Amino acid sequence: MINDRASRFKMKDLANGTSIVVADVYFLDDDQPLQLNRFIDLRLDGPRV
């Protein structure tokens, strides 16, 4: 569980193409997660990380 902004997130595998990032966000006053998702296009001509 990540509970501070400095941790952010990381990708465990190198990839290119279209990926979907998903996250379950829990709030202190609710036991049901808010499910987030986002399409990300990782292109070969993009920035090197």
Q: How large is the C-alpha radius of gyration of the chain?
A: 14
* CA quadruple 43, 44, 46, 49: dihedral sign: positive
pLDDT at 48 over 70: no
Determine the pLDDT at residue 40: 84
Task: Count CA atoms closer than 13 A to 8's CA, side-chain side.
Answer: 3
How is residue 37 written in tokens?
């998702």
Distance (Å, whole) CA 9 – CA 49: 14
pLDDT digits (tens, 9 = 90+) for 3-44: 777 877 666 666 677 888 888 988 989 999 999 999 888 777
Distance (Å, whole) CA 41 – CA 16: 8
